[in-house]
Amino acid sequence: MNNPDPPPPPPERRRPRRRALLAGLVVHSAGRFSFPCTIKDVSQNGIRILFAAGSAVPSQIEVINRSNGIVYHCDVVWTTSTAAGLKFRTTYDMKDLPPELDFLRRFR
């Protein structure tokens, strides 16, 4: 049977995202591990990043936005083999890092 009704529209995002194409660096495990990423989308509450397949992404990471020196301390909400959706816990300017994140200065 053919259903004449169109499918319902997809649910709207709670917060709009702005497309981006920014160089980033994922850092985790107190700076012991890092890998490059691309920041693809930015919203008020989080970002979407792309990275090379095979990169290990733990549940909490820091992402350094290389273009403006902002550090995003994030929870990983979802992940695939080459992308992740991240929710901001806090954000910092590289110039004003708290002592527990001072190790990030070497990645600037």
Is 5's pLDDT higher than 90? no
- For residue 23, the surrounding DSSP H or E stretch is strand 18-28
Question: Which residues are paired to 92 by β-bridges?
Answer: 71
pLDDT (tens digit per residue) in 25-76 = 999 999 999 999 999 999 999 999 999 999 999 999 999 999 999 999 999 9
Q: What is the pTM of this model?
A: 0.83
Judging by DSSP bridges, how do beta strands 83-93 and 70-79 pair with one another? antiparallel
Q: How many helices (H) and strands (E) does the chain have?
A: 0, 6
Residue 13 lies in a domain: no
- How many structural domains is the chain composed of? 1
Residue 104 lies in a domain: no
User: Which of 4-13, 58-67, 85-94 is predicted least confidently?
Assistant: 4-13
Q: 59: domain range?
A: 18-99
Residue 77 lies in a domain: yes
Q: What is the CATH number of the domain that holds 23?
A: 2.40.10.220
- Please report how many Cα atoms fall inside a 13 Å half-sphere around the Cα of residue 85, on the Cβ side: 5
